[in-house]
Every structure is written in structure tokens, then in C-alpha cells.
Amino acid sequence: MDRPSGTAPASAIARMAAWLVALLWLAALAPAHAQGLPDWQNLHVNDFAGLLAPEDAQALDGALAALREQTGIEGTVVTLPDRARHGGTDGLEPFATRLFNHWGVGDAARNDGFMVLVLAQDREARIELGRGYENDADILAQDIMRNTMLPAFRDGRMSQGIREGTQAVIDLIARPVAAGQPLAMPRRSLMDRILPFLFGAAGLAILGAAARQTWRRNRCPRCGRRGLETQVAPLETPLPEGGHMVSQDNVTRRCPACGWSETRQRLRPQTVWYGPTGTVLRSEPTPGYRSAARGSSGFGGGSSRGGGASGRW
């Protein structure tokens, strides 16, 4: 029987419908991927959402700069209006981990960096820790989130909550870890005490593998023995008006077995000017550090496995 004039075949209609559905689906996905992750503008405080009072932003910048200068641990504070515009529709935790790894927060060998992330319109916050932290740090981060940051956010004290929460991470997690001291853990329920043991084996296996790899690389080029010692000292450049400037470190590797040694200069992410009495006058990003660092990040190339704590208010 002849098909009536002007009537399209059913298969053609089905194909057109399938193409229309596919185009609509792609259009729906486009906004999530239209914007990439934001680039950092400051190594310590990136208040893109404008949540911080000027005095709190200055206090945080000073505290994080001092932490980095004294311990080598990199911490950063980030506020954003929301995560959807940066491709974060898959959730807070995956987005925070991607942003952390994209910037490369923390030393690449120790992975001891941290990020305090606050999303104003999403009403979400995250303390993201580098993969070098153990499970106890996650528990302590959750305590800081629950008892310091979220109560302030719920009261509308956003700037205060960010400042006090970040300072708590510095004082209770970063500095004790840098000093090799045990973390002062909060009181925990029985379940809180059991959970770290359930996941501890996997974490220990990962840390053990990283330690073995580092041990194998730590070999003297002269005698072949392992156990090279590494010392890092600031390279001070005198200033005409007195005081000094530090933009590089002298990194010395020495073999205690045969006496071999090697010293190289390494750029610091921040150049710091000191007065004649040793007081910090100012600090600025070191020119050329971005290209010398791993990848395109101005941080140390660290990464996170997704550890830390989240909160919503």
C-alpha cells in the first residue's frame, strides 16, 4: 500500500526525537562544565564571595603566612558564591578535592596542606586536608566544623566563623603535626573510636608504600648508601636600609656515611622582607615561582585523598 503523501516514516520520526532528546541533554549539562575551576589570586586568602571583613582577612593572611614560614605547611582560605558555576554539581566533597588538587595545596612530598572552603549561596563549608594527614585529623576537623564554624555561620557571623575555624585548624591540626606531636582529640563516642580502626589499615598501606618509595630514592650518588640528610635554610639577602629579604632557600643534601654533600637554591612561594630587628615588613609572591613549581600551581604540588570535614547550615 502506498504511504500517504507528506507523511514521514515512523523510523525517521524516532531518529529525530532521539536527536532532540540528546541535544536537550547536552544543553542541560553545558552549564555545569561551562565554567572551570577558579584560579588562585593569593596563596593565603581568596575571598571571591566577599565574606571576610578586612581585619579578618588581614589576620588570616598573617597567620597563614607565619605558618608557612615557620613550618612549611601551606594553608589557604577560599570563599565562593556557589560551586555550580565551577562545575561542582556532583557534590561538595568531590568539588573541594578537585579544587585542592587543581591548586596543588601543600608540599608534594609531605602532602600536609589544608584548605578552608566556604560556599555562601550553597550554605556549605569544607575543611579539606592533604593526603598526608591521618584519620585523627579528620575527626578533629569535624569537631572544628561542628563546634566553631557552623554555629557562627548560623548566627550570620560568617567572617568570624571563617577566621576562628581557620585558626583552629592551624593551632590544633597543622602546628602539632609539623612538630610531630599527637593531636589533642575531642571526646568521642564508641563509634567514633571504632571507625578509624576500620579504615586505618588502608591508610597505613598507602603511607607505607609512599615511605618505601621515598626510602629507595634516598640514595647517595657517591657511595650508594641510603639515609641522606636534608637541611633547609633561608638564603638571606641584605637590604641597603638594614634588615634582609628572603626569596630562596638553601637545600643541602648530605651523606653521613661518606661526607658527600650538595647544596641547591629553591625559590620560595613568598618573598618576605624583614626589618633590622627581624620583624616582618611585607610579603609578596616570588616572581618566577609559578613556573618553577610543579605544574602551573603556585603552591607546592600537594594533593588530597578527600579527607577532612564538611558542614551545612
Q: What is the pLDDT of residues 3-28, one digit of tens each?
A: 555 455 666 666 665 665 555 554 44
DSSP 80: E
pLDDT score recorded for residue 32: 39
**pLDDT over 90 (residue 83):** yes
Distance CA 250, CA 107 (A): 17
pLDDT score recorded for residue 296: 42
pLDDT score recorded for residue 293: 43
What strands lie across the sheet with 124-129, from one edge to the other?
45-47, 75-80, 114-119, 124-129, 307-312
**Range with lowest mean pLDDT among 55-69, 84-98, 279-293:** 279-293
pLDDT score recorded for residue 220: 80
**What is the percentage of the chain residues whose pLDDT exceeds 90?**
51
More confident residue, 214 or 165: 165
Residue whose cell numbers read 565562593: 80
**What is the percentage of the chain residues whose pLDDT exceeds 70?**
74
- pLDDT band per the 50, 70, 90 thresholds, residue 263: confident
Residue whose cell numbers read 608557612: 68
DSSP assignment of 152-184 equals HHHTT-HHHHHHHHHHHHIIIIIHHHHTTPPP-
**pLDDT over 90 (residue 89):** yes
**Mean of pLDDT over the chain:** 82
Question: What b/e sequence results for 150-162 when a residue is b if at least 16 CB atoms lie within 10 Å of its CB, and e otherwise?
Answer: bebbeeeebbbbb
- pLDDT band per the 50, 70, 90 thresholds, residue 95: very high
pLDDT score recorded for residue 272: 86
pLDDT score recorded for residue 201: 60
C-alpha cell at 222: 657517591
pTM higher than the cut 0.75: no
pLDDT score recorded for residue 200: 64
Count of alpha carbons within 13 angstroms of residue 292, beta-carbon side? 12
pLDDT score recorded for residue 187: 65
